[in-house]
């Protein structure tokens, strides 16, 4: 879909638990998807919420930057930012939400709140040209 003669690019940010992910979608097509895992939790046998939040803070900028570069666009091409609002770990969600709001405010573009559970279903409708 092209509106007003240009593509619609959405930056998606996911930070509900222990992985920091960012993706660029052009209309209904995924152009990039970057995820940073967190090995710190392995020594505890499960997710430690405070450690997850801190790792998100370290990972969010490099992950978003890589997603934009891998998509072959610039941040000025992005028309909206989607982010996981919940459910998830509160501290982890706050990192993603704060980054998404700041990014969108800086570019004066809209925010799209996403329910993590509904997104698992809706993700099946995104086209991935690399498959």
Q: For residue 75, give the CATH number of its domain.
A: 3.30.420.40
Whether 73 is covered by a domain: the verdict is: yes
Q: What pLDDT sits at residue 127?
A: 72
3-class DSSP assignment, residue 4: coil
Whether 24 is covered by a domain: the verdict is: yes
Q: What pLDDT sits at residue 102?
A: 98
Q: What pLDDT sits at residue 88?
A: 93
The number of folded domains in the chain is 1
Whether 104 is covered by a domain: the verdict is: yes
> From start to end of 37-127, where are the E strands?
78-86, 111-115
3-class DSSP assignment, residue 1: coil
Residue ranges, the chain, pLDDT below 70: 1-5, 129-131
The DSSP 8-state label assigned to residue 124 in this structure reads G
Q: What pLDDT sits at residue 131?
A: 47
Whether 80 is covered by a domain: the verdict is: yes
pTM score, whole prediction: 0.88
Q: What pLDDT sits at residue 39?
A: 79
Whether 56 is covered by a domain: the verdict is: yes
Whether 131 is covered by a domain: the verdict is: no
Whether 130 is covered by a domain: the verdict is: no
Whether 46 is covered by a domain: the verdict is: yes
Helix (H) or strand (E) holding 75: none
Q: What are phi and psi of 36, to 5 degrees?
A: -115, 120
Q: What pLDDT sits at residue 105?
A: 98
Its domain, for residue 117, covers 2-125
Q: What pLDDT sits at residue 75?
A: 97
All residues at 6 or more sequence positions from 5 whose CB lies less than 8 Å from its CB, including other chains: none
């Amino acid at each position: 879909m092209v509106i007003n003669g240009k593509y619609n690019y959405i930056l998606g940010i996911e930070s509900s638990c222990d992985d920091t992910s960012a993706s660029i979608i052009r209309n209904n097509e995924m152009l990039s998807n970057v995820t940073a895992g967190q090995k710190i939790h392995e020594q505890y046998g499960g997710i430690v919420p405070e450690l997850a939040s801190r790792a998100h803070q370290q990972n969010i900028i490099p992950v978003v930057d890589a997603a934009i570069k891998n998509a072959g666009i610039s941040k000025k091409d992005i028309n909206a930012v989607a982010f996981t609002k919940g459910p998830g770990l509160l501290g982890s969600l706050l990192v993603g939400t704060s980054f998404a709001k700041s990014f969108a405010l800086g570019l004066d573009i809209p925010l799209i709140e996403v329910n993590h559970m509904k997104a698992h279903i809706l993700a099946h409708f995104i086209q991935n040209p690399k498959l």
